[in-house]
Structure 1
Protein backbone atom coordinates (compact mmCIF):
# COMPACT_ATOMS: atom_id res chain seq x y z
CA UNK A 1 0.00 0.00 0.00
CA UNK A 2 1.21 3.45 -0.83
CA UNK A 3 -0.12 5.46 2.13
CA UNK A 4 -0.63 4.81 5.86
CA UNK A 5 -4.32 5.71 5.57
CA UNK A 6 -4.79 2.74 3.23
CA UNK A 7 -3.66 0.37 6.00
CA UNK A 8 -6.41 1.79 8.21
CA UNK A 9 -9.13 1.81 5.55
CA UNK A 10 -9.46 5.60 5.78
CA UNK A 11 -10.05 7.94 2.85
CA UNK A 12 -9.02 11.46 3.86
CA UNK A 13 -10.51 14.60 2.36
CA UNK A 14 -7.04 16.16 2.28
CA UNK A 15 -3.78 14.24 2.00
CA UNK A 16 -0.40 15.93 2.32
CA UNK A 17 2.65 14.26 0.79
CA UNK A 18 6.22 15.20 1.51
CA UNK A 19 9.77 13.93 1.60
CA UNK A 20 9.17 10.64 -0.15
CA UNK A 21 8.26 12.31 -3.42
CA UNK A 22 11.87 13.33 -4.03
CA UNK A 23 13.36 10.30 -2.33
CA UNK A 24 14.28 12.65 0.53
CA UNK A 25 16.84 14.54 -1.56
CA UNK A 26 15.07 17.90 -1.82
CA UNK A 27 12.16 19.58 -0.01
CA UNK A 28 8.90 19.24 -1.88
CA UNK A 29 5.36 18.55 -0.83
CA UNK A 30 1.95 18.21 -2.40
CA UNK A 31 -1.61 18.57 -1.18
CA UNK A 32 -4.17 16.19 -2.68
CA UNK A 33 -7.89 16.58 -2.08
CA UNK A 34 -11.16 14.93 -2.94
CA UNK A 35 -13.05 16.35 -5.88
CA UNK A 36 -15.54 17.93 -3.46
CA UNK A 37 -12.84 19.85 -1.58
CA UNK A 38 -11.12 20.83 -4.82
CA UNK A 39 -14.40 22.12 -6.24
CA UNK A 40 -15.02 24.31 -3.20
CA UNK A 41 -12.05 26.46 -4.24
CA UNK A 42 -13.07 26.89 -7.87
CA UNK A 43 -14.61 30.15 -8.95
CA UNK A 44 -14.02 33.54 -10.43
CA UNK A 45 -11.22 35.71 -9.08
CA UNK A 46 -13.60 38.16 -7.40
CA UNK A 47 -15.20 35.31 -5.43
CA UNK A 48 -11.97 34.89 -3.40
CA UNK A 49 -12.24 31.12 -3.30
CA UNK A 50 -8.53 30.57 -3.84
CA UNK A 51 -6.87 28.10 -1.51
CA UNK A 52 -4.11 30.39 -0.29
CA UNK A 53 -1.44 27.90 0.56
CA UNK A 54 2.19 27.67 -0.33
CA UNK A 55 5.76 27.73 0.82
CA UNK A 56 8.80 29.62 -0.37
CA UNK A 57 10.13 26.38 -1.87
CA UNK A 58 6.86 25.42 -3.58
CA UNK A 59 7.13 24.46 -7.22
CA UNK A 60 10.93 24.47 -7.28
CA UNK A 61 11.83 23.00 -10.69
CA UNK A 62 14.86 21.11 -9.37
CA UNK A 63 12.79 19.50 -6.60
CA UNK A 64 10.06 18.69 -9.14
CA UNK A 65 12.63 17.01 -11.41
CA UNK A 66 13.93 14.99 -8.43
CA UNK A 67 10.35 13.98 -7.59
CA UNK A 68 9.71 12.89 -11.15
CA UNK A 69 12.86 10.77 -11.17
CA UNK A 70 12.04 9.30 -7.77
CA UNK A 71 8.49 8.42 -8.77
CA UNK A 72 9.69 6.88 -12.05
CA UNK A 73 12.21 4.73 -10.14
CA UNK A 74 9.45 3.79 -7.69
CA UNK A 75 7.25 2.59 -10.55
CA UNK A 76 10.00 1.02 -12.70
CA UNK A 77 11.50 -0.91 -9.78
CA UNK A 78 8.09 -2.15 -8.64
CA UNK A 79 8.92 -0.85 -5.17
CA UNK A 80 5.62 -1.81 -3.53
CA UNK A 81 5.96 -5.43 -4.63
CA UNK A 82 9.61 -5.58 -3.55
CA UNK A 83 8.63 -4.24 -0.13
CA UNK A 84 6.64 -7.32 0.84
CA UNK A 85 9.73 -9.43 1.57
CA UNK A 86 11.49 -6.56 3.36
CA UNK A 87 8.48 -5.72 5.53
CA UNK A 88 7.98 -9.38 6.47
CA UNK A 89 11.64 -9.65 7.49
CA UNK A 90 11.56 -6.31 9.36
CA UNK A 91 8.42 -7.16 11.34
CA UNK A 92 9.74 -10.61 12.26
CA UNK A 93 13.11 -9.27 13.41
CA UNK A 94 11.50 -6.48 15.46
CA UNK A 95 9.86 -9.15 17.63
CA UNK A 96 13.35 -10.01 18.93
CA UNK A 97 13.67 -6.48 20.36
CA UNK A 98 10.77 -7.21 22.72
CA UNK A 99 13.05 -9.64 24.58
CA UNK A 100 15.54 -6.92 25.50
CA UNK A 101 15.16 -5.96 29.19
CA UNK A 102 14.95 -2.22 28.51
CA UNK A 103 12.56 -2.24 25.55
CA UNK A 104 9.05 -1.38 26.68
CA UNK A 105 7.22 -1.29 23.38
CA UNK A 106 7.91 -1.96 19.72
CA UNK A 107 5.48 -0.66 17.13
CA UNK A 108 5.75 -0.70 13.37
CA UNK A 109 3.92 -0.22 10.11
CA UNK A 110 5.68 -1.18 6.92
CA UNK A 111 9.33 -0.15 7.17
CA UNK A 112 8.70 2.39 9.91
CA UNK A 113 9.23 1.44 13.55
CA UNK A 114 9.45 2.99 16.99
CA UNK A 115 11.32 1.17 19.75
CA UNK A 116 10.57 2.57 23.20
CA UNK A 117 13.37 2.34 25.76
CA UNK A 118 12.41 2.02 29.43
CA UNK A 119 14.24 1.74 32.74
CA UNK A 120 12.02 -1.14 33.82
CA UNK A 121 10.14 -3.46 31.48
CA UNK A 122 7.44 -4.31 34.07
CA UNK A 123 6.52 -0.78 35.14
CA UNK A 124 7.40 0.81 31.77
CA UNK A 125 9.10 3.63 33.71
CA UNK A 126 10.82 5.89 31.16
CA UNK A 127 14.44 6.94 31.28
CA UNK A 128 14.96 10.45 32.64
CA UNK A 129 15.67 12.93 29.82
CA UNK A 130 19.14 13.69 31.17
CA UNK A 131 20.22 10.08 30.55
CA UNK A 132 19.92 10.73 26.80
CA UNK A 133 19.62 6.99 26.35
CA UNK A 134 18.28 7.35 22.81
CA UNK A 135 21.34 9.37 21.82
CA UNK A 136 23.60 6.77 23.44
CA UNK A 137 21.99 4.13 21.23
CA UNK A 138 22.58 6.36 18.19
CA UNK A 139 26.23 6.91 19.16
CA UNK A 140 26.84 3.17 19.44
CA UNK A 141 25.20 2.65 16.05
CA UNK A 142 27.45 5.28 14.46
CA UNK A 143 30.45 3.17 15.49
CA UNK A 144 29.04 0.56 13.09
CA UNK A 145 28.29 3.13 10.37
CA UNK A 146 24.54 3.21 10.96
CA UNK A 147 22.64 6.46 11.52
CA UNK A 148 19.65 6.24 13.86
CA UNK A 149 17.10 8.84 14.85
CA UNK A 150 16.20 8.87 18.52
CA UNK A 151 13.19 10.91 19.62
CA UNK A 152 13.73 11.03 23.35
CA UNK A 153 13.48 7.46 24.61
CA UNK A 154 12.17 6.13 21.29
CA UNK A 155 14.53 4.91 18.59
CA UNK A 156 12.85 5.51 15.24
CA UNK A 157 13.71 3.36 12.23
CA UNK A 158 12.62 4.69 8.83
CA UNK A 159 14.86 3.20 6.15
CA UNK A 160 14.29 4.22 2.55
CA UNK A 161 11.85 1.94 0.76
CA UNK A 162 14.51 0.98 -1.78
CA UNK A 163 16.98 -0.19 0.88
CA UNK A 164 18.84 -3.34 -0.20
CA UNK A 165 18.04 -6.38 1.97
CA UNK A 166 21.65 -6.66 3.20
CA UNK A 167 21.53 -3.06 4.43
CA UNK A 168 18.18 -3.65 6.12
CA UNK A 169 19.64 -6.66 7.91
CA UNK A 170 22.61 -4.58 9.06
CA UNK A 171 20.29 -1.81 10.27
CA UNK A 172 18.30 -4.27 12.38
CA UNK A 173 21.39 -6.04 13.78
CA UNK A 174 23.22 -2.83 14.63
CA UNK A 175 20.12 -1.28 16.22
CA UNK A 176 19.55 -4.34 18.39
CA UNK A 177 23.18 -4.45 19.49
CA UNK A 178 23.30 -0.69 20.08
CA UNK A 179 20.22 -0.80 22.31
CA UNK A 180 21.72 -3.69 24.24
CA UNK A 181 25.02 -1.86 24.69
CA UNK A 182 23.47 1.48 25.67
CA UNK A 183 20.99 0.04 28.16
CA UNK A 184 22.98 -2.85 29.61
CA UNK A 185 26.46 -1.35 29.53
CA UNK A 186 27.77 -4.11 27.27
CA UNK A 187 31.07 -3.68 25.41
CA UNK A 188 31.23 -3.33 21.64
CA UNK A 189 31.75 -6.66 19.87
CA UNK A 190 33.06 -5.25 16.59
CA UNK A 191 31.25 -4.71 13.34
CA UNK A 192 28.35 -7.10 12.74
Structure 2
Protein backbone atom coordinates (compact mmCIF):
# COMPACT_ATOMS: atom_id res chain seq x y z
CA UNK A 1 0.00 0.00 0.00
CA UNK A 2 2.91 2.34 0.73
CA UNK A 3 6.36 2.20 -0.85
CA UNK A 4 8.23 4.16 1.80
CA UNK A 5 11.86 4.16 0.68
CA UNK A 6 10.71 4.77 -2.90
CA UNK A 7 9.61 8.28 -1.96
CA UNK A 8 6.34 7.52 -0.15
CA UNK A 9 4.56 6.17 -3.22
CA UNK A 10 0.96 5.13 -2.54
CA UNK A 11 -0.76 2.24 -4.29
CA UNK A 12 -4.38 2.74 -5.40
CA UNK A 13 -7.22 1.24 -3.39
CA UNK A 14 -7.69 -2.43 -4.22
CA UNK A 15 -4.14 -2.95 -5.49
CA UNK A 16 -3.01 -5.06 -2.53
CA UNK A 17 -6.19 -7.14 -2.61
CA UNK A 18 -5.55 -7.78 -6.28
CA UNK A 19 -2.03 -8.98 -5.51
CA UNK A 20 -3.45 -11.32 -2.88
CA UNK A 21 -5.91 -12.81 -5.40
CA UNK A 22 -3.09 -13.44 -7.87
CA UNK A 23 -0.99 -15.11 -5.18
CA UNK A 24 -3.85 -17.39 -4.15
CA UNK A 25 -4.63 -18.25 -7.77
CA UNK A 26 -1.05 -19.32 -8.49
CA UNK A 27 -0.27 -20.73 -5.00
CA UNK A 28 2.41 -18.13 -4.27
CA UNK A 29 3.24 -16.99 -0.76
CA UNK A 30 2.32 -13.37 -0.07
CA UNK A 31 4.82 -11.43 2.06
CA UNK A 32 3.63 -8.18 3.66
CA UNK A 33 6.48 -5.88 4.66
CA UNK A 34 4.94 -3.84 7.48
CA UNK A 35 8.21 -2.74 9.05
CA UNK A 36 7.35 0.92 8.40
CA UNK A 37 3.55 0.80 8.09
CA UNK A 38 2.67 -1.57 10.93
CA UNK A 39 1.47 -0.72 14.45
CA UNK A 40 -0.97 2.04 13.60
CA UNK A 41 1.12 4.07 11.19
CA UNK A 42 -1.54 4.00 8.44
CA UNK A 43 -4.52 4.18 10.81
CA UNK A 44 -5.05 0.48 11.55
CA UNK A 45 -2.84 -1.86 13.55
CA UNK A 46 -1.56 -3.35 10.30
CA UNK A 47 -1.93 -1.75 6.88
CA UNK A 48 -3.08 -4.98 5.20
CA UNK A 49 -6.19 -4.96 7.42
CA UNK A 50 -7.55 -2.06 5.38
CA UNK A 51 -8.08 -4.34 2.38
CA UNK A 52 -8.80 -7.47 4.44
CA UNK A 53 -5.61 -9.09 3.17
CA UNK A 54 -4.17 -12.09 5.06
CA UNK A 55 -0.50 -12.49 4.08
CA UNK A 56 1.47 -15.70 4.50
CA UNK A 57 4.34 -13.74 6.06
CA UNK A 58 4.06 -10.51 8.05
CA UNK A 59 7.34 -8.64 8.64
CA UNK A 60 7.36 -6.31 11.64
CA UNK A 61 9.86 -3.99 13.35
CA UNK A 62 10.13 -0.26 14.20
CA UNK A 63 6.72 0.29 15.79
CA UNK A 64 7.03 -2.99 17.69
CA UNK A 65 9.15 -1.22 20.31
CA UNK A 66 8.21 2.34 19.43
CA UNK A 67 11.73 2.73 18.05
CA UNK A 68 13.40 2.49 21.46
CA UNK A 69 15.26 -0.76 20.78
CA UNK A 70 15.92 -2.66 17.52
CA UNK A 71 13.49 -5.58 17.52
CA UNK A 72 11.96 -7.30 14.50
CA UNK A 73 9.60 -10.23 14.09
CA UNK A 74 8.34 -12.34 11.21
CA UNK A 75 4.90 -13.90 11.60
CA UNK A 76 3.70 -16.73 9.41
CA UNK A 77 0.86 -19.20 8.98
CA UNK A 78 0.25 -22.66 10.37
CA UNK A 79 0.74 -24.04 6.85
CA UNK A 80 4.28 -22.64 6.64
CA UNK A 81 5.07 -23.72 10.20
CA UNK A 82 4.04 -27.31 9.50
CA UNK A 83 6.29 -27.37 6.47
CA UNK A 84 9.25 -27.58 8.86
CA UNK A 85 7.84 -30.34 11.07
CA UNK A 86 8.83 -33.95 10.65
CA UNK A 87 11.02 -36.77 11.84
CA UNK A 88 14.67 -35.99 12.59
CA UNK A 89 15.67 -38.17 9.65
CA UNK A 90 13.77 -35.85 7.27
CA UNK A 91 16.04 -32.91 8.16
CA UNK A 92 13.22 -30.39 7.74
CA UNK A 93 14.14 -28.19 10.70
CA UNK A 94 14.28 -24.45 10.09
CA UNK A 95 17.89 -23.97 11.17
CA UNK A 96 18.24 -20.28 10.32
CA UNK A 97 18.69 -18.00 13.31
CA UNK A 98 20.24 -14.73 14.45
CA UNK A 99 22.91 -14.31 17.12
CA UNK A 100 20.74 -11.71 18.85
CA UNK A 101 17.38 -13.35 18.24
CA UNK A 102 14.99 -13.28 21.18
CA UNK A 103 16.92 -10.55 23.00
CA UNK A 104 15.33 -10.38 26.44
CA UNK A 105 15.61 -6.61 26.89
CA UNK A 106 14.26 -5.90 23.41
CA UNK A 107 11.33 -8.26 23.93
CA UNK A 108 10.54 -6.66 27.30
CA UNK A 109 10.39 -3.23 25.66
CA UNK A 110 8.16 -4.60 22.89
CA UNK A 111 5.75 -6.04 25.47
CA UNK A 112 5.58 -2.72 27.33
CA UNK A 113 4.95 -0.91 24.06
CA UNK A 114 2.05 -3.25 23.24
CA UNK A 115 0.62 -2.61 26.71
CA UNK A 116 0.75 1.12 25.98
CA UNK A 117 -1.27 0.56 22.81
CA UNK A 118 -4.04 -0.98 24.88
CA UNK A 119 -3.82 1.25 27.94
CA UNK A 120 -3.59 4.55 26.03
CA UNK A 121 -6.08 3.41 23.36
CA UNK A 122 -3.64 4.53 20.68
CA UNK A 123 -5.58 3.17 17.71
CA UNK A 124 -8.86 4.82 18.69
CA UNK A 125 -7.12 8.22 18.88
CA UNK A 126 -5.56 7.97 15.42
CA UNK A 127 -8.52 8.96 13.18
CA UNK A 128 -8.70 12.48 14.65
CA UNK A 129 -4.93 12.93 14.30
CA UNK A 130 -4.97 11.68 10.72
CA UNK A 131 -7.77 14.10 9.83
CA UNK A 132 -5.81 16.97 11.37
CA UNK A 133 -2.66 15.88 9.52
CA UNK A 134 -4.59 16.00 6.24
CA UNK A 135 -5.86 19.50 7.04
CA UNK A 136 -2.41 20.75 8.05
CA UNK A 137 -0.86 19.39 4.85
CA UNK A 138 -3.41 21.15 2.62
CA UNK A 139 -1.62 24.56 2.55
CA UNK A 140 1.67 22.82 1.74
CA UNK A 141 0.08 21.30 -1.38
CA UNK A 142 -0.58 24.81 -2.70
CA UNK A 143 3.05 25.94 -2.59
CA UNK A 144 4.40 26.61 -6.10
CA UNK A 145 7.35 24.23 -5.67
CA UNK A 146 5.45 21.33 -4.10
CA UNK A 147 4.61 18.95 -6.90
CA UNK A 148 2.69 16.44 -4.83
CA UNK A 149 1.82 15.52 -1.26
CA UNK A 150 1.26 11.79 -0.79
CA UNK A 151 -0.30 10.74 2.51
CA UNK A 152 -1.47 7.55 4.17
CA UNK A 153 -2.40 7.78 7.82
CA UNK A 154 0.37 9.49 9.80
CA UNK A 155 2.95 9.29 7.04
CA UNK A 156 3.43 11.64 4.13
CA UNK A 157 5.85 12.44 1.34
CA UNK A 158 6.17 16.04 0.10
CA UNK A 159 7.81 16.13 -3.32
CA UNK A 160 9.66 19.35 -4.11
CA UNK A 161 9.90 20.30 -7.79
CA UNK A 162 11.51 23.10 -9.78
CA UNK A 163 8.27 23.51 -11.73
CA UNK A 164 4.77 22.03 -11.63
CA UNK A 165 3.79 23.00 -15.17
CA UNK A 166 5.63 21.75 -17.04
CA UNK A 167 6.67 19.14 -14.48
CA UNK A 168 10.36 19.57 -13.77
CA UNK A 169 12.05 17.91 -10.79
CA UNK A 170 14.93 19.50 -8.97
CA UNK A 171 18.31 18.06 -9.99
CA UNK A 172 19.80 16.03 -7.15
CA UNK A 173 22.82 18.34 -7.20
CA UNK A 174 20.59 21.09 -5.76
CA UNK A 175 20.18 19.04 -2.55
CA UNK A 176 16.74 20.54 -1.96
CA UNK A 177 15.61 17.78 0.39
CA UNK A 178 18.84 17.85 2.40
CA UNK A 179 18.90 21.63 2.73
CA UNK A 180 15.23 21.90 3.67
CA UNK A 181 15.73 19.18 6.29
CA UNK A 182 18.70 21.11 7.68
CA UNK A 183 16.52 24.22 8.02
CA UNK A 184 13.93 22.20 9.94
CA UNK A 185 16.59 20.73 12.21
CA UNK A 186 17.41 24.26 13.36
CA UNK A 187 13.78 24.50 14.48
CA UNK A 188 14.05 21.26 16.45
CA UNK A 189 12.36 19.06 13.83
CA UNK A 190 13.96 15.92 12.41
CA UNK A 191 12.75 15.13 8.89
CA UNK A 192 14.25 12.55 6.57
CA UNK A 193 14.64 13.53 2.91
CA UNK A 194 14.57 11.00 0.08
CA UNK A 195 16.09 12.97 -2.76
CA UNK A 196 13.77 15.96 -3.14
CA UNK A 197 10.93 14.30 -1.23
CA UNK A 198 10.45 15.29 2.40
CA UNK A 199 9.24 12.42 4.58
CA UNK A 200 6.99 13.26 7.52
CA UNK A 201 6.30 10.42 9.97
CA UNK A 202 5.25 12.00 13.26
CA UNK A 203 5.05 9.77 16.35
CA UNK A 204 1.63 8.32 17.08
CA UNK A 205 1.72 10.10 20.44
CA UNK A 206 2.03 13.54 18.84
CA UNK A 207 -0.30 16.21 20.25
CA UNK A 208 -2.52 18.43 18.09
CA UNK A 209 -0.29 21.41 18.93
CA UNK A 210 2.86 19.54 17.94
CA UNK A 211 1.29 18.33 14.70
CA UNK A 212 0.31 21.88 13.78
CA UNK A 213 3.84 23.08 14.61
CA UNK A 214 5.41 20.33 12.48
CA UNK A 215 3.38 21.19 9.38
CA UNK A 216 3.60 24.95 9.87
CA UNK A 217 7.39 24.87 10.18
CA UNK A 218 7.67 22.47 7.23
CA UNK A 219 5.68 24.88 5.08
CA UNK A 220 7.88 27.80 6.11
CA UNK A 221 11.11 25.85 5.54
CA UNK A 222 9.99 24.80 2.05
CA UNK A 223 8.99 28.36 1.25
CA UNK A 224 12.32 29.79 2.46
CA UNK A 225 14.41 27.23 0.61
CA UNK A 226 12.51 27.21 -2.70
CA UNK A 227 12.10 30.97 -2.94
CA UNK A 228 15.81 31.74 -2.67
The TM-score with structure 1 as length reference comes to 0.90
Counterparts in 2 of 1:55 and 1:131: CA distance versus 1, 3 Å = farther
Pairwise CA distance, 1:56 = 3.4
Pairwise CA distance, 1:52 = 4.1
SS in 1 for 2:169: coil
54-63 or 119-128, which moves further after superposition?
A: 54-63
- Matched residue, 2:220: 177
Of 145, 162, 166, which aligns to 1:102? 145
Q: What is the rounded CA distance, in whole Å, between the counterparts of 1:180 and 1:164 in structure 2?
A: 24
Pairwise CA distance, 1:145 = 0.9
Give the number of aligned pairs.
185
Of 24, 29, 32, which aligns to 2:67? 24
Structure 1 unaligned regions, length at least 5: 186-192
Q: What is the rounded CA distance, in whole Å, between the counterparts of 1:56 and 1:130 in structure 2?
A: 41
Question: 2:52 matched to 1:9?
Answer: yes
Q: What is the rounded CA distance, in whole Å, between the counterparts of 1:36 and 1:135 in structure 2?
A: 46
Of 44, 47, 56, which aligns to 2:99? 56
SS in 2 for 1:110: coil
Pairwise CA distance, 1:11 = 1.9
Question: 2:203 matched to 1:160?
Answer: yes
Question: 2:127 matched to 1:84?
Answer: yes
The TM-score with structure 2 as length reference comes to 0.76
Pairwise CA distance, 1:87 = 0.4
Counterparts in 2 of 1:168 and 1:52: CA distance versus 1, 3 Å = farther
Q: What is the rounded CA distance, in whole Å, between the counterparts of 1:51 and 1:110 in structure 2?
A: 36
Counterparts in 2 of 1:121 and 1:68: CA distance versus 1, 3 Å = same
Counterparts in 2 of 1:106 and 1:46: CA distance versus 1, 3 Å = farther
Pairwise CA distance, 1:76 = 0.6
Counterparts in 2 of 1:124 and 1:43: CA distance versus 1, 3 Å = farther
- Matched residue, 2:6: none
Q: What is the rounded CA distance, in whole Å, between the counterparts of 2:197 and 2:95 in structure 1?
A: 36
Question: 2:159 matched to 1:116?
Answer: yes
After the TM superposition, which segments of 4 or more aligned residues of structure 1 sit over 4 Å from their partners? none
Q: What is the rounded CA distance, in whole Å, between the counterparts of 1:178 and 1:54 in structure 2?
A: 45
| Pairwise CA RMSD | 1.5
SS in 1 for 2:92: coil
Q: What is the rounded CA distance, in whole Å, between the counterparts of 2:51 and 2:69 in structure 1?
A: 29
